[in-house]
A and B are shown apart, each in its own frame.
Chain A
Amino acid sequence: MSTLHLDLAQTQEQQLDELLRTLPAPEEPARGVVADWPVVTSFLADPSWEILFKNVWSAEGGAVSESVLRRPASDAMPPEEQRLAVKIYVSSLGPLEAREYFLRQALSPAGREPLYELEKHDDVVILRLAAPLPAAGDSDAPVNNDSLLLLYRNVVFDLRSYQSTVNVRRLGLRLQHFAEQFAGRELKAQDAPASQLAHRNLDQEIVVDLPATPDPFGDFRGTDFDVKIQASGAVAFLGFQGPTARFQQLGPGEGSIRVQTIHRRTLLASEVAVNLP
């Protein structure tokens, strides 16, 4: 694995861009990681980590799963609660979109120019955003606010530690080794969750079929899917009814509907967008 340090003659963007160009050309049709992602705590040796916050959302060409873990302070540990944030981005389209996502995350990360170092090995790129802090007091274990981005094929791992003794580089490589077992699968549209425009009827009602049925209040947390609805302009959202989202066209004006669907375990995503009239 080669390590590249900041070259002051080049901008960070130039260096990253050049590095990403050396990655293997994406295959046709697009291939990548299609994994059933386990809970993030399973990648940590210490069982005292617990999940504080979890969310999934649609991102450019894919989806992000964000988990924030905490490890309560104890006598043997640093005085502050330790936290660890793990974001996993999976492109549903292929490695090119993941490279663009990686670049965006790398180039706009901070309120100041971050110190960083780059590593590359075959199709793995690691960008360290923060230089490690010195060990606290006389402790042998370095307590870091550490941060790195790791790109592997169609996946980007974004790891941050706060007051934590976790080695984020090692964690990143553990996640990447897991992903490696599920790489090389063809990224077919049928792997993504299927939301599709069902029909428009004479009452100007528009129906979008969903891959799951939410609870009566539109909560999908009990299902394998996350669904986000947007209706704007001359369109009103009427509600969910079984595995459908229903909309009403309110008149002759322009309107739009957007339904984003994410499979929570694979993080494959799809989107239905309808512009009216």
Chain B
Amino acid sequence: MTAPDPDRLTDLGKRLDELQTKQADRAKRPPPSQSGIAFRFATEMVAGLIVGGGLGWGIDWLFGHFGFHTKPVFLILFFVLGATAGIRNVVRAAGEINAEIARKRSSGDEETGS
């Protein structure tokens, strides 16, 4: 048996690396399921409302503690802000999911093309 050709060995190594990264890209991200997406949006929205309402309630409580009767001004204000933040989070999450799907589609096209 002759000694292996170093050029061919490095070539083989390079090809293996390429295949492995391609494989890893495909296997690494489990696909987002429909219910998973819906659930994610729901939690983002609800979390926004909880945090906004909680913050407003806390600020009202704090002011009430010092003798300013602001109740329920900050609760209402921060509840609306929280709802806005929740919608912003949902939009951001939707953008991320869209980007992921687009990336998956483009890598899928490469596969069928080669």
Are the chains A and B members of one assembly? no
B interface residue numbers (CB < 8 A to A):
none
